[in-house]
Each structure stands twice: as C-alpha cells, then as structure tokens.
Amino acid sequence: MFDRSYDSKVRIAAFDWLTDLVMRYGDVLSREPLARGFFFDDKRVPLVGPQGIFKPRILEFPLSITTAPEGPYHDSIGPDNLLRYRYRGIDPNHRDNRGLRGAMSRQLPLAYFYGVAPSRYVAAWPAFIVGDNFDPIAPTFSVAVDDKSHLFVNSEDHNYQGSVGEEAGTTRREYITSAVRIRLHQRAFRERVLEAYRRQCAFCRLRHVELLDAAHIIPDSDPEGEPVVTNGISLCNLHHAAFDRFFLGLRPDYRIEVRPDILREGDGPTLRHAIQGLQGMTILLPRKLEHRPDPALLAKRYELYLAAAK
C-alpha cells in the first residue's frame, strides 16, 4: 500500500538537499552529485538515473524527470505554455509511464532537470504532472511548475498540501511555468555558448566563468535573435556591456573595431588596454565551424554599429 507520509518525507528531504546544492554551486548543476544523491534513513537516494523518468528504490513513484540537452526547443513546450515531457517509448503501459501517471493522480511533486549542456542541468521544482497527452507517434505528459512557497507540509501527517485543482492555483502554475521556461532557455543559451568558446571571453580570453555572459549578436527581442549558438558570443561583463553599447563593433570577418571617438579618448589604463587595445584583433572562435558566429547576423549587427559610430 502506498505510504504517502513516507513518500512526502523523502521528497521533502530531496528538495531540501537540492536547495542546498543550488546555494553552493549555482543553478546549473553537474550530473555527478545528482546521480550520487543523498542519504535518507541510511539509504542512498539518487535524483537521476540512466533513464529520463527516475524512481529511486525507496519510492513507489518517480522522483524526477530529466531532459537531454540536445532535445528540440519546440518539442518541450505545448500550446498551453505548459512543459511537455515525452513518454518512455510509446507504450502507455511501460512502468515508467505508469509511474508518472500514478504521480499525476496523487499530485506528487517532482524535480524537473532540464539539460542545458552535456551532463549539466537546471533544476526546477516542485513540478507536477498535470496532463496525459496520448498520441500514437509522440505521446507526452504535461508538466506544470509551482512556486515553492505554495507547497507546504501538514505538520501532523507530513503530507503535501496545496491548491491542486483550484482555478487560482492553475493560473499561478501556468504563469510560473512560463517564467521557468524562459529561465531554462536562457541558461541553456548561456551554457551552450560558453561551452562553444571553451569558457572564456572571445575578446580578452578571461576564463573566470562567474564573469562571463552569453551575448546575443542580434537581440532576442528581434525575430532573428534566436537563442542559438551562432547568434551568441561568450564575453566578459565589461566587453558584453561595451559590445551592447556599440563601443565595439565586430565585422563579419571576426575582427574587432573600436568606435573612433572611443579610440581618441584618454581615460586611464582600463580604457587603453581593455577597449582600445582590441582594435583590429580577431576574436577567439569556437573550434566547431557550425558554432561560429553567423556572418549574416554579424553583418546586420555591424551596420547598427556603423550607424552608432557616425
């Protein structure tokens, strides 16, 4: 018989452990500690396994779902703005699919691990299975993410409580899921761009990841500003700001130009070495040709730079 109280205690411990992990390492987590997990009642509880739908031995129903980093963007979001998660295979009676269906009927919270790079994930929790969308070709579950503050535990029986099924709760979850989706794809864009540039600034080679950004060549507000590696450059905070404000331009041949009025300024060693010294330099490029900045996007961006330089 399903022991809801025990199940809740394990999930509480898992979410507390995840919270501590994110506080220590940031919200992009490597697979190793997730696969190692934590101990509960002297039993090891991993949070991920070889398959995307993962149930540790001490639980009756899955604890987490994981997506691969190469998963297509458009397949992970439904028209209702909820996340879509593929079945294990296409058999609705596969034990993993039955497990998620059981978690849905009992409204058990899960951890959702979104792959942003090989063996690197952004975690979102609590996530709930809220729909079963059977399609003989590509069956999926609908996944909603809720706010942690709306998930509390009854002090008497240790069971999760919340506003499951309430209209206000449904609206809240849709809003939160939409915000989480944006965060997941922002993190994915950053990780893939930094990975392509070997985790260093393309302009100055700075290697401190904490000071690196994934700069868009064409802003994401533009229809052409897709969150793909060829529309990104790994830049340190300083050069990202200088690039965004057109202190610097980047030609389609990957050479840097410094705006003429900036070249004429005399404002100390930072300007002289960190900005003016880049004039005519070729940027660090990804080793894979398919990851290099799109020359057509650079040409469009360069025209904006020239207009700002007049």
User: What are the Cα distances from residue 14, in Å, to 39, 47, 64, 79?
Assistant: 9, 8, 10, 31
Predicted confidence band of residue 279 (pLDDT cuts 50, 70, 90): very high
Mean pLDDT throughout 252-265?
95
Q: Domains of the chain: which residue ranges?
A: 4-194, 199-309
**Angstrom distance (rounded) from CA 203 to CA 205:** 6
Q: Can you give the length of the chain in residues? A: 310
**82-86, 139-143, 286-290: which has the minimum mean pLDDT?**
82-86
Q: So what's the pLDDT on residue 70?
A: 63
Mean pLDDT throughout 248-276?
93
> Which of the two residues, 278 and 67, has the higher pLDDT score?
278
Q: What is the pLDDT of residues 192-220, one digit of tens each?
A: 999 999 999 999 999 999 999 999 999 98
Mean pLDDT throughout 91-113?
94
Q: Which amino acid is at 217?
A: I
Q: How many CB atoms lie within 10 A of CB 145?
A: 26
SS3 category, 231 = helix
Asked whether 272 and 188 are in contact (CB, 8 A), the reply is no
Torsion over CA: 53, 57, 59, 64 (sign): negative
**pLDDT over 90 (residue 160):** no
Predicted confidence band of residue 157 (pLDDT cuts 50, 70, 90): very low
Q: So what's the pLDDT on residue 77?
A: 65
Q: How far apart are the first and last CA of the chain?
A: 75
Long-range contacts of 24-33 (CB under 8 A, 24+ apart): 27/122, 27/123, 27/187, 28/116, 28/120, 28/121, 28/122, 28/187, 28/191, 29/113, 29/120, 29/121, 29/122, 29/123, 30/119, 30/120, 31/119, 31/120, 31/121, 32/119
Q: So what's the pLDDT on residue 73?
A: 38
Mean pLDDT throughout 266-270?
85
**Angstrom distance (rounded) from CA 119 to CA 258:** 38
pTM given for the model: 0.76
DSSP 5-24: HHHHHHHHHHHHHHHHHHHH
Q: What is the pLDDT of residues 42-77, one digit of tens each?
A: 999 999 999 899 999 999 999 999 988 765 434 466
Residues 6+ apart with CB under 8 A from 253: none
Q: Which amino acid is at 117?
A: A
**37-46, 110-119, 140-149: which has the minimum mean pLDDT?**
140-149
**Angstrom distance (rounded) from CA 258 to CA 221:** 25
Mean pLDDT throughout 297-305?
96
Residue 166 CA, chain-centre distance (Å), reads 29
Residue 206 CA, chain-centre distance (Å), reads 23
**Angstrom distance (rounded) from CA 47 to CA 124:** 13
Output phi, psi for 8, to 5 deg: -65, -40
